[in-house]
Structure 1
Amino acid sequence: MEQMIGKQSIQFERAVHILSAASIVGKKEGDGPLGKYFDRVGEEDGLFGCQSWEEAESFLQKEAVSMAIQKAGIEKWQLRMIYAGDLLAQTIASSFGIMGFHTPVYGLYGACSTMGEGLSLASMAVAGGYAEYVAAVTSSHFASAEKEFRFPLGYGNQRPLSATWTVTGSGACILGRKGGKARITGITTGKIVDFGLKDSMNMGACMAPAACDSIYQNLMDFNRLPKDYDRIITGDLGQVGQEILFDLLREKGFDIEKQHMDCGIEIFDAATQDTHAGGSGCGCSAVTLASYILPKIEKGEWKRVLFIPTGALLSKVSYNEGNSVPGIAQAVVIEHC
């Protein structure tokens, strides 16, 4: 069967199973609405017993993959490859976090869309017969991201209401050919979309056009309507980006308000936690998927979900040189078995 469908999607002839998922987060995330669902919650200082923020983020990835392997009931040597990514320069959180597994690695950078990218590539590897077991993992850390993209925490800089709070956490999934209660049946690979916005403190607005593009193309390629999904779940648009996404899709003839959910909105309590527009970071969609979304799919509460992590493709170099902030969104169709 031809697996390519439409302009930029794949419909797998044999669906790829998600065998397990694991999540580890910081205390702020643990204090939020999803706190009871995470596998492990850290202490107040966010260092997880490490000497630096970057080392702590590497620890998050190591723990997430280790827990996911244990849940899947396999040994680490059975992993054929790992797809891993984070927000730090040269993806050092991933490289130092997973090198102890002695497993072939593909390092990824899709900004906050990286979990969607990792799941897409991992599912293609399994569906294509190139691996029996594959891991997809991403991470982010509030303090390491602030150092990388904005200001060290000691500066105490103020954040505008449009800003999102980078999630401290890591989520990992183990994919295989059979045995899971949730499966990946298709993907829509995102394009880079740039509306010329330059405000790095309003990444929801920068990413919303890319989310709109990938959602629209998924509906076109699979000949579906929003109601064909129990949930359409973006990664970290936050309150600002969500409203923009609704407006952009209405212009294309689709209303997704009833189905839409955003991981960045769900992970923090806007009324009690000072996170402004919501959560963001590679870990945001990854830990929400592993802890909250997948269990609902596995139980059959949701039969089909469109999971679309969103990313703002900037660096401190591009921002300081006055460039715009392009966006990308990687869509993954996940269904109940």
Structure 2
Amino acid sequence: MLKGTQTWEFQNQPSLLSTGVVGGPFEKKGRLAEDFDRFYDDLWMGEDTYEKANRLMIEDAVKLAVEKGGLQEEQIQFFLSGDLINQITPSSFAARTNAIPYLGIFGACSTSMEGLALASYIVDSGGAEYIVTGASSHNSAVEKQFRYPTEYGGQKPPTAQWTVTGAGFSVVGKSLPGTGPMPKVTSATIGKVIDMGLADPFNMGGAMAPAAADTITAHLKDLGRDPSYYDLIITGDLAKIGRKTTQELLQQNGISLDESKFQDCGLLIYGQDQPVQSGASGPGCSATVLYGHLLNQMKKGVYKKILMVATGALLSPLTFQQGETIPCIAHAVSIEYI
């Protein structure tokens, strides 16, 4: 199962059986609105705090994924989830609600693929029949924790990114015979923590780019593949600056990516008329784009093989206040419609 030094190749190829994708009012105005299952009218979502609203999104997305898969929550063996709020409390409190055996995970904005890699490993090895995994973020909750409350109206530089309000979850399960083509997880590359000394929390894309390039390079090397193997290599939330930097770093590693086949979720989710500076970010970015838009595109025959590379900046308000630089990571998962 282990290929090279960082990659798992799944012999049984777990399937993405069903998904649940929810978003906020700003995402409803974005380019990928038709790929969401549900939107909320405002950021409060009927709750009295943004953190509780974050929890609600997770609960709703999980419920949607399970119901769309024709399952009951009692049939799900494990629930893998993460978010950006202190001690991932929205995920933990959602686990309190659904009562599914829970593994809380944190990889910042890389959490979605960390969860999918782990869920696929467990299912592939026979450790479970069904696992729900995904990630979420809430713009106002995250901004309040890492920067300034949105009510403050602080000016952001062009390098800044807009945290997605959304949650994306999938039921990962055994591939069943006779079900026809489905999106299946064929491999996963676990990234290393890379820190190039950047310390600007308003330039997450630039900080995360070296981790993305390192993981993509490792994935292709471990499996002996050329980038042309994939119809699409897509990063989580590098946005404008990070995407360009990653391309340059990959070229230094001897890897040339076709512009049309190398995209970023943070550049897809919002329209050009939406004021998101460099692009989108947050664990909910890659989770909603993958489990909504990209899987729908695969079902339509647009893509057959995708490498999803979610990136994360592993800082906290405390480390920033203590003058630390920003360590980053990226996890890659290959999904094939077979």
Corresponding position of 2:112:
115
Cα shift at 1:225: 1.0
Cα shift at 1:255: 1.4
Aligned partner of residue 14 in structure 2, secondary structure: strand
Which residue among 259, 262, 279 is the counterpart of 1:260? Answer: 262
For 2:333 and 2:311, how far apart are their aligned partners in 1? 12
Corresponding position of 1:25:
23
Cα shift at 1:259: 1.2
Corresponding position of 1:291:
292
For 2:197 and 2:9, how far apart are their aligned partners in 1? 32
Structure 1 unpaired stretches of 5+: none
Structure 2 unpaired stretches of 5+: none
Corresponding position of 1:14:
12
For 1:98 and 1:66, how far apart are their aligned partners in 2? 12
Corresponding position of 1:62:
59
Q: How does 1:150-165 map to 2 (within 5 A)?
A: 150-165=147-162
For 1:194 and 1:213, how far apart are their aligned partners in 2? 11
Cα shift at 1:299: 3.3
The one-letter amino acid of 2:269's match is I
Cα shift at 1:100: 1.4
Kindly indicate whether the alpha-carbon contact (under 8 Å) linking 1:226 and 1:259 is maintained by their aligned counterparts in 2: no
The one-letter amino acid of 2:297's match is K
Kindly indicate whether the alpha-carbon contact (under 8 Å) linking 2:4 and 2:223 is maintained by their aligned counterparts in 1: yes
For 2:36 and 2:193, how far apart are their aligned partners in 1? 32
Cα shift at 1:300: 3.1
Aligned partner of residue 15 in structure 1, secondary structure: coil
| Cα shift readout 1:276-312 (whole Å, capped 9, x = no counterpart) | 0000001000000111101222333211100011100
Kindly indicate whether the alpha-carbon contact (under 8 Å) linking 2:35 and 2:296 is maintained by their aligned counterparts in 1: no
| Cα shift readout 1:57-106 (whole Å, capped 9, x = no counterpart) | 00000000000001111111000001010001110110112321111100
Q: How does 1:306-321 map to 2 (within 5 A)?
A: 306-321=307-322
The one-letter amino acid of 1:23's match is V
Q: How does 1:1-337 map to 2 (within 5 A)?
A: 3-43=1-41, 45-179=42-176, 181-256=182-257, 257-270=259-272, 272-337=273-338
For 1:137 and 1:333, how far apart are their aligned partners in 2? 16
- C-alpha RMSD of matched pairs (Å): 0.9
Q: Which runs of 4+ in 1 moved over 6 A?
A: none
Aligned partner of residue 87 in structure 1, secondary structure: coil
Aligned partner of residue 186 in structure 2, secondary structure: strand
| Cα shift readout 1:115-139 (whole Å, capped 9, x = no counterpart) | 0000000001101111000010211
| Cα shift readout 1:142-185 (whole Å, capped 9, x = no counterpart) | 00001111111222111100000000000000000024711001
Cα shift at 1:11: 0.6
